[in-house]
Chain A
Amino acid sequence: MVSFPRQASCPRCCGSAIALRRLGNTGHLWTWTTQEFAPKSPPYAVTRKPGDFVAFQLGYIELPGEVIVESRIVAGDSALRIGMPMELIFAPLFTDSNGDEVVCFAFKPMGQRV
Chain B
Amino acid sequence: MSDVFIIGIGIHPFGRTPQLSGMEQGVVAAQAALADAGLSWKDVQYAFGGSSSAGNADTMVNRLGLTGLPFINVANGCATGGSALLGAYMALRSGQADVAMAVGFDKHEHGAFVVNPSEWGLGNWYGEAGFALTTQFFALKLKRYMHEFGITNDALVRVAVKAYANGALNPNAWRRRALDYEEIAQSPMLNDPLRKYMFCSPAEGAVALVLANAAAVRRFGGKPIVLRAASIRTRNFGSFEVFSPSLALQRAASPTVMASRAAYEMAAVGPEDVDVVQLQDTESGAEIMHMAENGFCRDGDQEALLRDGATAIGGHLPINTDGGCLANGEPIGASGLRQVHELCLQLRGAAGARQVPKPPRIGYSHVYGAPGVSAVTILGALS
Q: Is the CB of B129 within 8 A of A45?
A: yes
Asked if residues A60 and B127 are in contact (CB atoms below 8 Å), the reply is no
- How far apart sit A100 and B128, CA to CA, in the bound complex (Å)? 15
Question: In the docked arrangement, what's the CA distance between A12 and B189, Å?
Answer: 37
Is A24 close to B, CB under 8 A?
A: no
A31 and B115 within 8 A (CB): no
> Counting CB contacts under 8 A, is A42 at the interface?
yes
> How many interface residues does B have (CB within 8 Å)?
39
Interface 9-mer from B131-139, B290-298, B357-365: B131-139
User: B142-183 toward A: CB 8 Å interface, digit per residue (1/0)?
Assistant: 011001000000000000000000000000000000000000
Q: Does B95 contact A (CB under 8 A)?
A: no
A30 to B143, CA, bound (A): 9
Given contacts A35-B130, A36-B190, A45-B128, contact A30 B144 (CB under 8 A): yes
| Interchain CA distance A70-B112 in the complex, whole Å | 20
**A34-B192, A39-B112 known; A67 vs B249 contact (CB < 8 Å):** yes
Whether A44 pairs with B192 at a CB distance below 8 angstroms is: no
In the complex, what distance in Å separates the CA atom of A34 from the CA atom of B191? Answer: 5
Complex CA gap A3/B245 in Å reads: 9
**A31 and B147 contact, CB distance less than 8 A:** yes
- Considering only CB atoms, which chain B residue lies closest to A106 in the complex? B129
- Closest CB-CB distance, B109 to chain A, in whole Å? 10
Mask: chain A, 78-112; 1 = CB below 8 Å from B; 0 = not: 00001000000000010000000010100000000
- B143 near A82: Cβ-Cβ < 8 Å: yes
A35 → B minimal CB distance (Å): 6
Q: Which residue of A lies closest to B191 (CB)?
A: A33
Q: Are A68's CB and B140's CB within 8 A? A: no
Q: Judge whether B141 is part of the interface by a CB distance below 8 angstroms.
A: yes
Q: Given the known inter-chain contacts A33-B192, A39-B130, please indicate yes or no for A69 contacting B245, CB distance below 8 A.
A: yes
Q: Shortest distance in angstroms between A92's beta carbon and chain B's nearest beta carbon?
A: 12
CB nearest to A55 among chain B residues: B189
**Bound Cα distance from A67 to B128, whole angstroms:** 22
* CB-CB nearest in chain B for A32: B143
Contacts of A36 in B (CB 8 A): 188-192
* CB-contact partner of B127 in A11, A32, A34, A42, under 8 A: A42
B residues near A69, Cβ cutoff 8 Å: 245-246
Residues in B whose Cβ lies below 8 Å from that of A31: 140-141, 143-144, 147
Contact yes or no, B245 A35, CB < 8 A: no
Q: What is the bound-complex CA distance between A67 and B93, given in angstroms?
A: 43
Contacts of B136 in A (CB 8 A): 33, 35, 58
B144 near A5 (CB under 8 angstroms)? no
Q: B123 contacts the other chain (Cβ, under 8 Å)?
A: yes
Chain A hits for B143, CB < 8 A: 31-33, 82
Residue pair B245, A70 in contact (C-beta under 8 Å): yes
Given contact pairs A34-B189, A104-B125, a sample of 13 additional A-B residue pairs in the complex whose CB atoms are under 8 Å apart: A31-B141, A33-B191, A33-B193, A35-B136, A42-B116, A43-B124, A59-B140, A60-B140, A65-B249, A67-B248, A67-B249, A70-B246, A82-B147
CB-defined A-B contacts under 8 Å, sample of 22: A1-B248, A31-B140, A31-B143, A32-B140, A33-B192, A36-B190, A36-B192, A39-B132, A40-B114, A42-B114, A43-B116, A43-B128, A58-B131, A66-B249, A68-B249, A69-B245, A70-B131, A70-B245, A70-B246, A70-B247, A72-B130, A104-B125
